[in-house]
Amino acid sequence: MLTISLFMSASTALAFRFDTDALKSMGDKLKQLKPVSEKDEIALGKGIAANLTGAAPLVNDAALQRYVNQIGMWLAMHTDRPNLPWRFGVLDDMMVNAFATPGGYVFITRGLLMQCRDEAELAGILAHEISHVTARHALETMRKGAVAGLAGDVLGEYAKSKGHEGYSKLVNAGTEIYTRGLDKEDEFAADRVGAVIAARAGYDPYGLPSVLQTVASINPQSDAVALMFKTHPNTAERVEKVLVAMDGRLDKYSEQPKLQNRFAQVMQAHVAAYKPAKR
């Protein structure tokens, strides 16, 4: 399928190349911020996704990828940006993590998928990532120049010339966000909006806080959660905040389906050694 061939062909290793001159001139460039076109947003996100999936390839299972894509596409249809070229992928990585790059490229690791107990929990994670994309969190982080070597004029140059140099500079700088994380407030916002998207799509919106609760119970010393904990605010604090935000607004949707059986069937057939965590 398209998603797989697209990402499988990406062999670029996760590499950061910083240009110190570009870094120094950042201050000036910040003053000339330009909005980024959707076309450039998509091109940039595709490049960053290729960088990141070069480091951890997709699980080689078309049926599993199709299942996660169907859920992701359904959720994305319930946002204000349904027409982005959304693509969802399960990475063959036992680290517990999920992330999204600009333009609609969303990934969850096999490690995090295995922490889910039902489809509503998986939907909650995907919806959190989707809302980073719809709100352009990574893109704005780059555009505001919070990332080394980047500013609006580089984006502008790229748009004009489609020059490879400007593009790869952007992609490499953008990739850095994924080792460092977004703004804390962006993460809390993605939890709140993610729960709303899940509810709109017909899922029990408590899937997100529920899977976060499971993640919060993982030993923080474990290597499996090192990157996720480094790039996200404290998980218990996320659970607390999203529950407060949902209370009185989304609790009436808590009877919506969790789809536990459908999820368990797919996982048992396609993810070796899957054992759902106890409730």
Contacts with Zn ion by CB under 5 A lie at 187, 190
Closest separation in Å from C-beta 190 to Zn ion: 5
Alpha-carbon gap, residue 131 to 73, rounded angstroms:
13
Q: 4 vs 190, which CB is nearer to Zn ion?
A: 190
- CA atoms 183, 208, 176, 45: torsion sign: negative
Q: 93 vs 187, which CB is nearer to Zn ion?
A: 187
Buried b (16+ CB within 10 A) or exposed e, 42-68: bbbbbbbbbbbbbebbbbebeebbebb
Closest separation in Å from C-beta 186 to Zn ion: 7
Q: 129 vs 154, which CB is nearer to Zn ion?
A: 129
Q: 158 vs 178, which CB is nearer to Zn ion?
A: 178
Q: 40 vs 187, which CB is nearer to Zn ion?
A: 187
| Token representation of residue 20 | 């110190």
Amino acid at position 40, single letter: D
Closest separation in Å from C-beta 214 to Zn ion: 16
Buried b (16+ CB within 10 A) or exposed e, 192-205: bbbbbbbbbbbbbb
Alpha-carbon gap, residue 226 to 222, rounded angstroms:
7
Closest separation in Å from C-beta 63 to Zn ion: 27
Q: 109 vs 154, which CB is nearer to Zn ion?
A: 109
Q: 198 vs 266, which CB is nearer to Zn ion?
A: 198
| Token representation of residue 8 | 């499988």
Closest separation in Å from C-beta 100 to Zn ion: 8
Closest separation in Å from C-beta 103 to Zn ion: 16
Closest separation in Å from C-beta 274 to Zn ion: 24
| Token representation of residue 180 | 């460092």
Alpha-carbon gap, residue 63 to 90, rounded angstroms:
11
Q: Which residues contact 86 (CB under 8 A, 6 or more apart)?
A: 72, 73, 76, 104, 106, 130
Facing residues of 87 across strands?
Answer: 105
**Region label for 57, one of left (φ > 0), alpha (ψ between -120 and 50) or beta (otherwise):** beta
